[in-house]
Amino acid sequence: MQMGYNLNLEQTQKLVMTPKLCQAITVLQLSSLELSAYIEQQLEENPLLELREDGVFDDVDKTGEPEAEKQDNGFNWEDYFEDQYHDGRDGGIIQKERQQKQMGYGYEKFLSQTPTLSDYLLSQLNLTSCYGTDKLIGEYLIGNIDDNGYLRVSLAEVRERLNVDLNRVVKVLHLVQSFEPVGVGARNLQECLLIQIERLGIKDDVTSRLINQHLTDLAKGRLVKIAHNLGVSIREVQQSSDLIKTLDPKPGRNFTGMNDACYIIPDVVLEKVGEEYIILVNDVTVPRVTINSAYRSVLNKENNIDSDTRRFVENKLNAAVWLIRSIEQRRLTLYKVASCLVELQRDFLDSGIKYLKPLNLKKVAEIVGIHESTVSRATSNKYIQTPRGVFEMKCFFATGLNNDAGTKISAGSIKKLLQEIIAGEDNRYPLNDQKIADIFSLRGIRISRRTVAKYRDELGIPAVQKRKRY
């Protein structure tokens, strides 16, 4: 086989991921909170970026480019700064000093700290007649209660660590278990539930035996088996089961993370005015950035600045302008995609989830005139506030099933119909998944039994044996 070298000239097109393009993609897929954090990071890294004050407009037009013209693939920085900061008298440049506005803080701007579960229990311990060693034991027990309200240390360990009598530890534990919330300080689920029925004054042997012996079977809906083992009727078992379901298996969870509440800040706000929907891109939380004018003298040709310094400032200035352009491009893309979603899902916004239509990224991309990946990034991890509530933008892209009319119905609509069918069933004779699938078939919707079971699980609806009432 003969080997040799030759020269070929061919023309190809390929996408080159430049740093600027990577930044534009990153900015597009960030939510409002993430974008705020990203801009704060850029403000620390780029000295030519600064926060824009009220009444100061960006020196960037709608395309993100400065008003000065480009030359040699760069900006005409001298003309740009001269136009903005010339004093009109001696041709010099006025250096404006930006002053931070001092904000006053009143007491109404501060919130009191929400007490934790430990704080709440300790406050109750301090109100008892518990002193000395007993109080030390109580504080040690409370310090070992987890966020769900369960004691995570054995009594033998408490006795050994504090060098006290075991009976004394048991006595203080019973005191702690009498505190609010009811059921706190239990060592397992059975003890937690027993404490609660005791505080409620319920003295029912069937309920106590259910808690002590048959919680696993109860969770699986095996009421017939439990009734046979206890020698009682199924109706008695079901009544005790209904009572147990009203108890709280995690009495301390209402205190967990109350100071770490997470709020959803919508990226798009949709308001209905008359018969029209007004779309607002919510960028109130996003810091407004502009270009710092303090470095303009570096780019002045009249100043003898070394080339390295000048090149550094030019690179940072290019990066700053590109960031401003990327933020504006994100806003425009988000607005276009949101407008398309509102137009395509108008029936859902007007009438509810039953009218949500099947939709994919490709259709939106074709209407807006962008790539599918851009639509995906523009809607990823973003929320839209509508008159019907706050939804993740991905919710507008619903899968669907065919019906006899030759059209598609979304999964959200099917789930809503499934809820309505189960809500209207006879509890004594609940419908199994196959019967529900047959009902959908009569309504012109072809759906399998397994799909019904899948949607039912996603909605948190129990199986037929757990829905049956005796």
Domain assignment of residue 131, yes or no: yes
Provide the residue type at 452 as one letter.
V
Neighbours of 191 (CB within 10 A): 17
DSSP assignments along 264-281, one per residue: ---SEEEEEETTEEEEEE
Q: What is the CATH number of the domain that holds 422?
A: 1.10.10.60
What pLDDT is recorded for position 53? 67
Cα(59)–Cα(65) distance, rounded to whole angstroms?
A: 8
Provide the residue type at 90 as one letter.
D
Half-sphere exposure of 261 (CA within 13 A, CB side): 8
What pLDDT is recorded for position 355? 86
Cα(333)–Cα(370) distance, rounded to whole angstroms?
A: 9
Domain assignment of residue 207, yes or no: yes
Domain assignment of residue 290, yes or no: no
Cα(64)–Cα(392) distance, rounded to whole angstroms?
A: 29
Alpha helix ranges (H) inside 231-306: 234-245
Last residue of a domain, one of 202, 230, 255: 255
Last residue of a domain, one of 224, 255, 286: 255
What pLDDT is recorded for position 269? 93
CA 314 to chain centre: 39
Residue numbers of the domain that contains 447: 400-467
What pLDDT is recorded for position 144? 94
CA torsion, ordered 432, 433, 438, 444, to nearest 10 deg: 140
Give yes or no for a contact between 58 and 300, defined as CB atoms under 8 angstroms apart. Answer: no
What pLDDT is recorded for position 253? 86
Q: Per the structure, how many domains does the chain have?
A: 2
Which tokens is 400 given? Answer: 């669907």
The values of phi and psi at residue 68, to 5°, are -70, 150
Cα(149)–Cα(250) distance, rounded to whole angstroms?
A: 6
Last residue of a domain, one of 255, 283, 300: 255
Domain assignment of residue 387, yes or no: no
CA 57 to chain centre: 33
Q: Reply yes or no: is the peptide bond before residue 181 cis, omega within 30 of 0.
A: yes
Domain assignment of residue 251, yes or no: yes
Provide the residue type at 36 as one letter.
S
Domain assignment of residue 432, yes or no: yes
pTM over 0.85: no
Q: How many residues does the chain have?
A: 470
As averages over each run of 10 residues, the pLDDT of the chain (470 residues) reads 75 73 85 89 89 56 40 47 45 40 50 78 91 93 93 94 93 94 94 93 90 90 90 91 92 70 83 91 86 72 72 86 91 94 92 86 92 91 91 86 72 88 89 92 88 91 86
Which tokens is 347 given? Answer: 């029936």
Cα(75)–Cα(83) distance, rounded to whole angstroms?
A: 13
Give yes or no for a contact between 230 and 206, defined as CB atoms under 8 angstroms apart. Answer: yes
Alpha helix ranges (H) inside 345-382: 346-351, 361-368, 372-379
Give yes or no for a contact between 282 and 266, defined as CB atoms under 8 angstroms apart. Answer: yes
Please give the C-alpha separations between residue 58 and each of 42, 45, 55, 244, in angstroms, as whole numbers: 17, 20, 10, 63
Cα(117)–Cα(122) distance, rounded to whole angstroms?
A: 9
What sign does the dihedral 83-88-91-93 (CA atoms) show?
Answer: negative
Across 282-328, the runs of DSSP E, i.e. the strands, are: 289-291
Give yes or no for a contact between 267 and 334, defined as CB atoms under 8 angstroms apart. Answer: yes
What pLDDT is recorded for position 405? 65
Which tokens is 198 given? Answer: 């005791």
Q: Please, is 85 exposed, middle or buried when counting C-beta atoms within 10 Å of its C-beta (0-12, 13-18, 19+)?
A: middle
What pLDDT is recorded for position 61? 44
Q: Reply yes or no: is the peptide bond before residue 287 cis, omega within 30 of 0.
A: no
Domain assignment of residue 102, yes or no: no
Contacts (Cβ under 8 Å, ≥6 apart) of 74: 314, 318
